[in-house]
Amino acid sequence: MFYLVSAPAHRALPTTLIPRDKAETIEIGDAGRASRRTLRKYVHADGAASCELALGITTLEPGSVWNTMPCHTHDRRTEVYLYFGLPAEERVLHICGRPSETRSIVVADRQAVINPPWSVHFGAGTAPYRFVWSTAGENLAYDDMDPVATADLS
């Protein structure tokens, strides 16, 4: 599989290879809420340098279906999800939109979704899957997000 994502750059930066075992890896989520996952950050403030792009890969752990919960928005950047590793007959329901007016997009293996800054973004799959997340904007801080309580979704 080959995937290309880009964002504007205002300076030259070195090309950097970060093997999977060298990526910053964190375990997040809660198995009891079916959201346990491993997140590997590749392009970020402490990883491969970039002007406006951050990128990582999330793998859901066995028994988990929910990604990016609790959900959030990124007021200062856009996020793109590329779902992969999903069997051909399975799907992910990608939920997006304003917290008070969400919609779902049914995606298959190797399909992508673009989320504007005002949109929540989270999903649930019918089988194990992974996704590449990439954000573009002037702020590269991974934790710069505006959380949305699950009870506030409609």
Instruction: Tell me the pLDDT tens digit for each residue of 19-38.
Output: 999 999 999 999 999 999 99
The DSSP symbol for 24 reads E
Ordered by start, the domain boundaries in the chain are 23-138+148-152
User: What is the DSSP secondary-structure string of 50-107?
Assistant: -SSEEEEEEEEPTT--EES-S-EE-TTEEEEEEEES--TT--EEEEEEETTEEEEEEE
Please, what is the average pLDDT of the chain? Answer: 91
Whole-number percent of the chain with pLDDT over 70: 95
Answer yes or no: are the C-beta atoms of 52 and 92 closer than 8 Å.
no
Backbone angles phi, psi at 152, to 5 degrees: -90, 0
Fold classification of 23-138+148-152 (topology level): Jelly Rolls (2.60.120)
AA identity, residue 151: A
Contacts of 66 (CB under 8 A, 6+ apart): 29, 33, 34, 35, 60, 122, 123, 124
Give tens-digit pLDDT for 95-110: 999 999 999 999 999 9
Q: By percentage, how much of the chain surpasses pLDDT 90?
A: 66
